[in-house]
Homo-oligomer: A and B are copies of this chain.
Amino acid sequence: MSRKRGRLFVISGPSGTGKGTVCKELLKDIRNEFSVSMTTRAPREGEVHGREYYFVSRDEFLTNIEAGNFLEHATVFDNLYGTPKDMVISRLDRGYNVILDIDVQGGLQVKKAMPEAILIFILPPSLAELRKRLIGRGTEDAAKVEKRLGQALNEIRLIGEYDYYIVNEDIDEAVDLARSIIAAESARVPEAVRSIIREYEKESK
Q: How many residues of A contact B (CB 8 A)?
A: 24
The reply to whether B189 and A180 contact each other, CB–CB distance below 8 Å, is no
> Which residues of A, 137-180, contact B by the 8 Å Cβ criterion?
159-160, 162-166, 176-177, 179-180
Specify which of B164, B194, B197 is in contact with A187 (CB 8 Å cutoff): B164
Asked if A184 CB lies within 8 Å of chain B CBs, one says yes
The answer to whether B189 and A181 have CB atoms under 8 Å apart is no
CB distance from A156 to the nearest CB of B (A): 11
Q: For the A-B complex with A163-B188, A164-B189, A165-B188 known, give 8 more contacts whose Cβ atoms are closer than 8 Å.
A: A159-B193, A160-B193, A160-B194, A160-B197, A177-B184, A180-B181, A181-B184, A181-B187
A185, B179: Cα distance in complex, Å: 13
> Could you name 26 residue pairs across A and B whose Cβ atoms are closer than 8 Å?
A121-B189, A159-B189, A159-B193, A160-B189, A160-B193, A160-B194, A160-B196, A160-B197, A160-B198, A162-B189, A163-B189, A164-B187, A164-B189, A165-B188, A165-B189, A166-B187, A176-B183, A177-B183, A177-B184, A180-B183, A180-B184, A181-B183, A181-B184, A183-B184, A184-B184, A184-B185
List, in ascending order, chain B residues with CB within 8 A of A159's CB: 189, 193
> Contacts A180-B180, A180-B183, A183-B180; is A188 near B164 (CB within 8 Å)?
yes
Q: Which residues of B contact A196 (CB under 8 A)?
A: 160
What residue of chain B has the Cβ atom nearest to residue A176's Cβ?
B183
Nearest chain B residue, comparing its CB with the CB of A191: B160
- Residues of chain B lying within 8 A (CB to CB) of residue A180: 179-181, 183-184, 187
